[in-house]
Structure 1
Amino acid sequence: MDRDLRVNPADLRSWASQADTYAANLRSGHASAHERITTAQSGFIGASSAALAARLAHWEEETAAHHAELIVHSEHLRSAAKCYADTDDAEAVRLNDGASGLADRMNL
């Protein structure tokens, strides 16, 4: 089994953008549904109106939590991409410095 870790930072950045899109779609889709529920609520009275208002408040909280979770995933993907890219860049410098030093010692 191959034990090398292979990560493409560009893929991570792409997935982060997808997560941002999912978050935006979730927020706008749910906002539209919540707006329709609010409009429909005017046709309810008494306990049914109060129950619908309570349920809507719960759904709005859930939407906000899911949106925030998607944004956190997006941020983590971007952070991971940066860490992998920075590590790769630093190791490339070390390899180049080592190769230059070896070439100097060999008078090449």
Structure 2
Amino acid sequence: MAAYAAALGRPALNGTRAKLERQAVDLLAQGLPEPWLCDRARELAARGWSDLVQHAERSTVPVEGRRDESLSGRAGLPKWCGTCGEANPAARVNARFRTLGELGGGEKCPRCHPDRIHATA
């Protein structure tokens, strides 16, 4: 996570980075907003911690913009096709993960990325 490494002032160790990325994907899939999670990740580094799930559960910072977990995604976000984003569940609620090839960095999915769908509509 870039927010964690930036607050840490150096790159995170591989194991810590992988753990935080997995946790962030899971928390995004549960409907927590990305900006709120980035703020929590920065707090982790400042406190010398490395468990984003535990910190998110204990945080007293209000979660603004949290989506109803019964929704398939953000308002205005087309339903996820389920095949792009390397089957990452975060793609269900975050269009940035709806790519072909490298997660978050490849071509936008023609089946469910909002930029591609709205361009053809």
Tell me whether the two structures share a fold, i.e. TM-score over 0.5.
no
Which has more helix, going by share of residues?
1
Give the structure-1-normalised TM-score: 0.29
**Which protein shows a greater Rg?**
1
